[in-house]
Amino acid sequence: MSLPVHEQIPEGLNHPTGLKHQGLVPVGQPVAEYRYRTRKGYLTCDLYDVTQMRPVDPMRVAAGLQATETRKLAEKARRQAACD
């Protein structure tokens, strides 16, 4: 079965990046596709129903932030060691 293709994002649907900005995680299969134009031609992305999404786990967000901070500190230490 082929998914419906939209030229504009309908109300109640969103793409994965839009869901991430809303603090939601895609669950299940996409319900439609969004077709948009770029310099390289037309591209498509999946659209998900916003009402069927689940919120992002706050512990995962905290773990990701901690990992990013640790990576930055390690990089800073490597740079300082290289300069000394």
Tally helices (H) and strands (E) across the chain: 2, 6
Q: What is the pTM of this model?
A: 0.67
Q: Where are the domains of the chain?
A: 5-83
As a whole number of angstroms, the distance between CA 41 and CA 14 comes to: 21
Element (H, E) at 14: strand 13-14
Chain segment 10-53, per-residue pLDDT in tens: 999 999 999 888 888 888 899 999 999 999 999 999 999 999 88
Beta partners for residue 25, in sequence order: 54
Per-residue confidence band for 4, with pLDDT thresholds at 50, 70 and 90: confident
The answer to whether 60 and 23 are in contact (CB under 8 A) is no
- Tokens representing residue 36 in the block: 């948009």
Q: Specify the pLDDT at position 59.
A: 86
